[in-house]
Amino acid sequence: MRKSYRSLAALMLSTFLSVAAFAQSTITGNVRNNTNKDVIPAVSVTVKGGTSGTFTDERGNFKLVTNQKPPFTIVISSVGFEAKEFEVKNESDVIQVDLVPVASLGVEVVVSASRVPERILESPVSIERVSALNIRNAPSANYYDILRNIKGVDVIYSSMTYATPSTRGFNGSGNARFNQFVDGMDNQAPGLNFSVGSVIGLTELDVESMELLPGASSVLYGSGGMNGTLLISSKNPFKYQGLSFQVKTGIMHVDHKQTSGPTPYYDWSLRWGVKASEKLAFKIGAQFIHAVDWLANDTTNYLAGNTAAGQYGNVKPGTRSSDPNYNGVNVYGDETTFDTRLFAPGVGAGIKAATGNNPQLNFLIDQVVASLTGAPAGTTNVSRTGYYEREVVNKNTVNFRLSGGIYYKLTEKLEASLTGNWGTGNTVYTGSDRYSLKDLKMGQYKFELRHPEWYVRAYTTQENSGESYNSTATTQLFNEAWKKTVTFAPNGAPACTLSNETGGLVSK
């Protein structure tokens, strides 16, 4: 008897599931641009008069699951295109819809300026917008390169993977007066004190749009927005679904100036977005970049002088073989210098004392000491020998990024999300000096509740600078670790000599 009840329950459950499955209809199709037949991503596809809906993926394909049985009508709509209704007669039909582009002033919606969705023409500040389609079609190695084509924008490149945009006033590498926000998170590295958006940020396939506020935006985004603000938004898996893969390759150094021959450039990107149900969706993304970066090789003799006297930033004739105080622009470690006049009290102290410190004889003694140091007449400073950039900086650029997120719709208008962006790699940064960013790691993790009229956001930035170093300071320490530049005898007089191996002063 008990077995009969179990069998009857199993039969009823299977019948119920079969009826539920039979009641659902799955509609597939593709949406294109009527003018050029290009596919259109992120197009809204909804059942007219119902609650079921979905979005097209990056290939323009959509899959709509609804409890209604054909015939019924679906509505296809997207910003910049005329909405279209299509009658579905058979579930097995593959729907092909071509939307007609339309020009409408002030209907594009952005999330910027006042921090709530609004028409772009009603925003209190001017906004330049780069869409996902612009990024995909741009012939550039990095999506930051697209910003160069926007009016009033200046982009400075410190390396292959590091770009600094700015819009107002003077620009500089790592411009601290220009905000960069990725999904509402400030992309500034706490330890490095500058934004690393193009080094560690969103993967290219996961960028939905870039919105640039070219004017001062301090009122909206803080004091860091004196030169403008860049807002980068990622793709929501509820709208952008499916598996995407992108490969970029190129050739660098074809002029043979930096390397012995041409070197390859590789860029692989991957994104997978899944809408598991009407309430749950997730995404995973990765990007790997490898290239041989350029190396600074200016050996011009740099004149490090008094800023007030107007000597700062000037150059002078001479090389290491002709100028004992040589300081190459891109030669590191030779910034350490020693005044040879300090030699006289230590080397000629006994002679001066024996001669009664006669001023005329003291002058001759100083000249003899200067000649012993190898310095020409009139020269008082001698520098340590430095290192070329190729000897201290790794030119192999490696950049690896991971990103992902889980999205859950608590209600029809309230969405919760947990997202993260993590990256690591090697690159070069040019600021007041040349920095080698080696094994740099940085992650940003965010939890957000978003409603069309408000949001609550909490995020954290975790950074590990790895083995990053300043080229000048590091090479100076190299020399000091080998032999000290100067040591002092018990009587306070310096006891130093020149070294032929380094061309600089070292201790005896």
pLDDT digits (tens, 9 = 90+) for 311-322: 556 788 888 888
The mean of the pLDDT values for the chain is 78
Same domain, 307 and 342: yes
Domain boundary (175, 202, 234) is at: 234
> Does residue 3 lie in a domain region?
no
Q: What is the mean pLDDT of residues 324-341?
A: 83
Per-residue pLDDT for 404 more than 90?
Answer: yes
Q: Is the pLDDT of residue 340 over 70?
A: no
Q: Which two tokens stand for residue 478?
A: 């190299």
C-alpha closest to that of 228 among 115, 125, 119: 125
Same domain, 347 and 493: yes
Domain that holds residue 27: 20-99
Beta strands in 237-279 (DSSP E): 242-252, 263-275
Minimum mean pLDDT among 207-216, 269-278, 280-289: which range? 207-216
Q: Are residues 43 and 117 in the same domain?
A: no
* Res. 491: pLDDT tops 70: no
Tell me, yes or no, whether 223 and 318 share the same domain.
Answer: no
So what's the pLDDT on residue 103? 56
Can you give the pLDDT at residue 490?
37
CATH code (residue 191)? 2.170.130.10
Range with the poorest average pLDDT among 169-173, 280-284, 354-358, 434-438: 354-358
What local confidence, expressed as pLDDT, does residue 150 receive?
83
223 or 260, which is more confident? 260
| Domain finish residue from 99, 122, 149 | 99
Assess whether 214 and 337 both reside in one domain. Answer: no
Backbone angles phi, psi at 45, to 5 degrees: -125, 115
Phi and psi of 29, rounded to 5°? -175, -175
Q: Does 438 have pLDDT greater than 80?
A: yes
What integer pLDDT is reported at residue 132 of this predicted model?
80
107-160 tens-digit pLDDT? 444 544 454 455 444 454 567 888 887 888 888 888 888 888 888 888 888 888
Q: Are residues 223 and 115 in the same domain?
A: yes
The answer to whether position 118 is within a domain reads yes
Q: How many domains does the chain have?
A: 3
| pLDDT for position 101 | 84
Contact status, residue 298 vs residue 330, Cβ threshold 8 Å: yes
What is the rounded average pLDDT of the residues 346-360?
Answer: 59
Judge if 223 and 192 occupy the same domain. yes
Assigned domain for 286 exists = no
What residue spans of 187-309 are helical by DSSP H? 218-221
Among 232-236, 369-373, 446-450, 475-479, the minimum mean pLDDT is found in 369-373
Residue 67's pLDDT is what? 81
Share of the chain above pLDDT 70, in %: 75
* Least confident segment among 266-270, 282-286, 314-318: 314-318
- What pLDDT does residue 105 have? 44
pLDDT category of residue 360 using cuts at 50, 70 and 90: low
Question: What whole-number distance in Å separates Cα of residue 26 and Cα of residue 91?
Answer: 6
CA 404 – CA 205 distance, rounded (Å): 12
Q: Looking at residue 23, what is its pLDDT?
A: 56
Query: Which pLDDT value is given to residue 367?
Result: 63
Span of 88-97, 108-117, 212-221, 459-468 with lowest mean pLDDT = 108-117
Q: 88 with 27: CB under 8 angstroms?
A: yes
- Rounded to an integer, the average pLDDT of 87-101 is 86
Are 37 and 173 in a shared domain?
Answer: no
Q: What is residue 156's predicted lDDT score, i.e. its pLDDT? A: 85
**Is the pLDDT assigned to residue 496 strictly greater than 60?**
no
What residues does 242 pair with on adjacent strands? 273
Residue 401 lies in a domain: no
- Per-residue pLDDT, averaged over 50-60, amounts to 82
Which of 80, 99, 118 is the C-terminal boundary of a domain? 99
pLDDT per position as a tens digit, 20-44 = 444 577 889 999 988 888 888 888 8
pLDDT at 492: 37
Mean per-residue pLDDT, 252-268: 88
Same-domain check for residues 335 and 196: no
Residue 264 binned pLDDT confidence (cut-offs 50, 70, 90): very high
Classify residue 423: in a domain, yes or no.
Answer: no
| Within a domain: 328 | yes
Do 210 and 119 belong to one domain? Answer: yes
In 240-250, which positions are buried (b, 16+ CB within 10 angstroms) versus exposed (e)? Answer: bbbebeeeeee
CA dist., res. 301 & res. 286, Å (int): 44
Average of pLDDT values for 281-302? Answer: 91
Query: Predicted confidence band at 382 (pLDDT cuts at 50, 70, 90)?
Result: confident
CATH number assigned to the domain comprising residue 79: 2.60.40.1120
Q: Please tell me the predicted confidence (pLDDT) of residue 302.
A: 85
Determine the Cα–Cα distance for residues 301 and 337; give it in Å rounded to an integer.
14
25-33 sheet: strands from edge to edge: 61-66, 25-33, 94-99
Q: Does any domain span residue 267?
A: no
Helix (H) or strand (E) holding 164: strand 162-166
- Are 371 and 498 within one domain? yes
CA distances from 236 to 107, 283, 387, 412 (A): 21, 8, 49, 15
Residue 295 lies in a domain: no
Q: Which residue has the higher pLDDT, 433 or 399?
A: 399
Can you tell me the distance from the alpha carbon of 229 to that of 165, in angstroms, rounded to the nearest whole number?
9
173 and 201 share one domain: yes
